[in-house]
Amino acid sequence: MSAPHDPANYPAVSDDLLYSDYRKTEELGSIRQVARALAAETSSQQVLQTLCRLSMFRGRASGAMVTQVSGDNGIYVACSGVATPLLGMTFPLAGTFINRAAAEKRAVLLPSPHEATPVFAALLPQLGIGPILFLPLVANDQLFGVLAITRDAGHPTFDETDEERLAVMADLAALALWKARLLEDAQSADAAKTSLLATLSHELRTPLTALEGYGELLEDEILGPLSHEQRDVITRLRTVGRHLGSLIEDILTYASLEADRLTARPSAVRLDELLDSLHPFLEPLAREKGIDFVIDPEGGLPGMHTDEAKVRQILLNLCQNAIKFTESGSVTLRVSRGSPMPDGGVSLRFAVKDTGIGIATADLQRLFRPFSQLEDVPTRRRGGTGLGLYIARRLATLLGGRIEVVSRPGEGSVFTLVLPVQA
């Protein structure tokens, strides 16, 4: 008696069934390759070109083209093979098989070019084009165009198997186009936003510079002596002006970073002068909050060769952020030697420690995203653009450094800028 799992007990499998399974497996593998190839493209035009190339291969065709529908007209936006001369051609859609495929959103077969509209009935034979299969490119109920796959005159027309195989590819291409268009729309919106921010910031900087100049004239009593109360008002106005200038600088920096226009301009930097330049911006903010602001440099620190303006901007952002989230106590900027950089170079550590509210672990990951702020009510009241930490990290990377964060709710935070002495 044979064992239950003895192959002799299995039903016989015909060669036709085995071949059919093999063909299905092969077809699935081919579809996966098509899907990967289309998904790898990031622009809609690249998707269209890849689609035309793959259509010729999978359809055993001599040409392929994609028509974009615009009102009553169509335009060939991608072509390959014998259809290449048609690229850019605009034509009326009325009465065409392309219009049928677009309107009915289904495959349409043109067995012979002689059945086409008069314009194409004369043009297609000149290119040696015979039967054509038209497939709508539809995803999320949105028409992205019509794919036309052509074979040479005298070659067999497309059968049902061809239509099924190519329709699957058209559906995959439509999804890839949908994804690419979403990405392009987002990039276009980002570019427009960045351009607007840069323009507005430049326009704001000019009158702000004038206001700062007038404030300096008044504070220096060039236009006459000031009373104690008047001097206090002028000091407050200049503090607000510096803060506004810092916000404008952040927006301009963000616009430059997004447009990849920002570069480092290293030069010799005296550390003591760099640190002294922070006081006029930060001390009034701390005084207004009723907290202490202290700069505590370690002795014997070396000078730096880096972009001084960008280091200053990073430190201002980190310190302003610390002051903003500290209601009592102090904010301290400690400067010390750091561990050697990966290349063995000397580094400095600028640690900004506050006694503020601290940050939950779940919030740390999104701190450095642009326009991101903590969502709880107390922090939202503090305002700001939400760009400071994002800019600080990007600038630190540009200068060959990094920013480290240690924080716990209720225990304050320490943001540390680590920079090489030689950028």
Give 183's contacts (C-beta < 8 A, 6+ positions apart). 42
Cα separation, 165 vs 122, in Å, equals 30
Answer positive or negative: Cα dihedral of 236, 242, 244, 246: negative
Cα separation, 332 vs 328, in Å, equals 13
CA distances from 205 to 71, 315, 378 (A): 45, 21, 30
Q: How many of the other CB atoms lie within 10 Å of CB of 398?
A: 16
Cα separation, 402 vs 419, in Å, equals 7
Cα separation, 50 vs 75, in Å, equals 18
- The residue among 306, 318, 307 whose CA lies nearest residue 281 is 318
Q: Residue 405 in contact with residue 414, Cβ under 8 Å?
A: yes
Which tokens sit at 282? 């930060």
Which residue blocks in 2-96 are alpha helix, DSSP H?
Answer: 15-39, 44-58
Which tokens sit at 328? 């009592």
Per DSSP, the residues of 163-185 read HHHHHHHHHHHHHHHHHHHHHHH
Q: CA triplet 393, 398, 400: central angle to 5 degrees?
A: 95
Q: Residue 334 in contact with residue 353, Cβ under 8 Å?
A: yes
Give 217's contacts (C-beta < 8 A, 6+ positions apart). 223
Residue carrying structure tokens 């290349």? 343
Half-sphere exposure of 389 (CA within 13 A, CB side): 23
Looking at residue 206, what is its pLDDT? 73
- The residue among 174, 159, 101 whose CA lies nearest residue 134 is 101
Walk along the chain (423 residues) in steps of 10 and give the mean pLDDT of each run.
48 45 51 72 84 88 92 92 93 92 92 87 91 93 92 92 88 86 74 67 72 79 83 80 77 77 90 94 90 94 93 94 92 94 90 92 79 51 67 92 92 95 86
Kind of pairing between the strands at 63-70 and 142-152 = antiparallel
Longest CA pairwise span in the chain (Å): 120
Q: How many of the other CB atoms lie within 10 Å of CB of 96?
A: 21
pLDDT by residue (tens digit) across 331-389? 999 999 998 888 888 999 999 999 998 988 878 777 887 766 655 434 444 455 678 88
Looking at residue 10, what is its pLDDT? 42
Cα separation, 250 vs 399, in Å, equals 17
CA distances from 67 to 49, 73, 91, 113, 405 (A): 12, 10, 10, 17, 53
Cα separation, 419 vs 345, in Å, equals 10
Dihedral of the alpha carbons of 310, 313, 319, 325, in degrees to the nearest 10: -130
Which structural domains are found in the chain, ordered by start? Answer: 14-185 (3.30.450.40), 187-258 (1.10.287), 267-420 (3.30.565.10)
Where in 205-298 does DSSP place strands (E)? 267-269, 292-297
Cα separation, 363 vs 375, in Å, equals 9
Per DSSP, the residues of 366-389 read TTTSTT----SHHHHTT---S-HH
Looking at residue 22, what is its pLDDT? 40
Which tokens sit at 216? 């300096």
Looking at residue 12, what is its pLDDT? 47
Per DSSP, the residues of 74-105 read EEEEEEEETTGGGTT-EEE-TT-HHHHHHHHT
Cα separation, 391 vs 317, in Å, equals 8
Looking at residue 20, what is its pLDDT? 47
Q: Which residues pair with 73 in a beta bridge?
A: 70, 92
Residue 154 per-residue DSSP state: T
Q: Say what the pTM is.
A: 0.53
Residue 8 per-residue DSSP state: G
